[in-house]
């Protein structure tokens, strides 16, 4: 099954490079391009792609607002944020808006293709090579959040798992840390998603920081 993708970036050269890259992959298909957040929202409405690769800094409606509109809409399109990482101060906002993962513009091309597939399959891109660094960057300067939500409904083991998710560990790494099987770790994560009404693993990371289970790096 072909993954249908739209590219939203205000730099035509970036979009052209991604389009060429994706064209070489028979499992991916670019069905539209947008240079603004507003056009990206319209494209998602019209084309109903599987994944929107979304830049954050765009004129008019930025990628954060566009991401929130897309993820709160009736469709099933998932958003994969494209960021420069080093100077992007909006990563936390994008996560809260519902982004399912991240691309870094200077990451290896094969990783970009793999990231699109990961998100299209319904997973979140919480990879040690990318997201752990992003987490450290945005939690160092988060905006004041709402009152911390209660997490009384989870078990002590689930609290341990949530803490490790917040640190950016994969299910396999969680299993090794807690001396449990990968299947058990995956089951705990699934229970946390349900109990905490979290959209995906990215939201679990946010919750872990908001609950103070993981401290921002100093």
Bridge partners (DSSP) listed for residue 104: 83
pLDDT at 129 over 60: no
> Which one, of 82, 38, 87, 83, lies nearest residue 59 by Cα?
38
Tokens 């289970």 found at: 213
Give the domain 156-210 fold: Arc Repressor Mutant, subunit A (1.10.10)
pLDDT at 140 over 70: no
CA 81 to chain centre: 7
SS3 label, residue 120 = helix
| pLDDT score for 11 | 92
pLDDT at 121 over 80: yes
Please, which residues have CB within 8 angstroms of residue 59's CB and are 6 or more apart in sequence? Answer: 10, 35, 36
pLDDT at 195 over 80: yes
pLDDT at 139 over 90: no
Order of strands across the sheet that contains 3-8? 28-34, 3-8, 51-55, 78-83, 101-104
Q: CA–CA distance from 67 to each of 9, 34, 44 (Å)?
A: 13, 13, 10
Tell me the whole-structure pTM to 2 decimals: 0.69
Question: What tens digit of pLDDT does each residue of 11-64 get?
Answer: 999 899 899 989 889 999 999 999 999 999 999 999 999 999 999 889 999 999
Look at the alpha carbons of 108, 113, 114, 119 in this order and tell me if their dihedral is positive or negative.
positive
Tokens describing residue 71: 């993820």
| pLDDT score for 163 | 92
> Which one, of 204, 122, 129, lies nearest residue 159 by Cα?
204
Confidence of residue 135 (pLDDT cuts 50, 70, 90): low
In a 13 Å sphere around the CA of 127, the CA atoms on its Cβ side amount to: 17
CATH number of 3-139: 3.40.50.2300
| Average pLDDT in the chain | 83
Calculate mean pLDDT across residues 84-111.
74
Rounded to 5°, the CA angle 140-141-147 comes to: 105
- Where are the chain's structural domains? 3-139, 156-210
Percent of the chain with pLDDT over 70: 82
pLDDT at 112 over 90: no
| pLDDT score for 203 | 79
| Range of weakest confidence among 91-100, 108-117, 128-137, 184-193 | 128-137
| pLDDT score for 132 | 57
Calculate mean pLDDT across residues 72-95.
77
Percent of the chain with pLDDT over 90: 40
> Which one, of 61, 68, 54, 53, lies nearest residue 22 by Cα?
53
């Amino acid at each position: 099954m072909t993954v249908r993708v739209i590219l939203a970036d205000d730099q035509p050269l970036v979009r052209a490079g991604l389009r060429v890259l994706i064209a070489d992959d028979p499992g991916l298909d670019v069905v539209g391009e947008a240079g603004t957040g507003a056009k990206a929202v319209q494209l998602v409405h019209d084309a109903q792609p599987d994944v929107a690769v979304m830049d954050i800094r765009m004129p008019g409606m930025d990628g954060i607002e566009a991401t929130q509109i897309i993820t709160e809409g009736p469709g099933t399109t998932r958003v994969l944020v494209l960021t420069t990482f080093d100077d992007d101060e909006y990563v936390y906002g994008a996560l809260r808006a519902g982004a399912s993962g991240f691309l870094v513009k200077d990451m290896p091309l094969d990783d970009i293709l793999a990231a699109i597939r990961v998100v299209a399959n319904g997973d979140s891109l919480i990879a040690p090579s990318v997201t752990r660094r992003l987490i450290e960057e945005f939690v160092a300067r988060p905006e004041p959040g709402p009152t911390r939500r209660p997490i009384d409904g989870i078990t002590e083991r689930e609290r341990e798992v949530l803490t490790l998710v917040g640190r950016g560990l994969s299910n396999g790494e969680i299993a090794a840390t807690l001396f449990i099987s990968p299947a058990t770790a995956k089951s705990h994560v699934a229970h946390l998603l349900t109990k905490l009404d979290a959209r995906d693993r990215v939201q679990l990371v946010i919750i872990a920081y908001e609950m103070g289970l993981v401290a921002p790096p100093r």
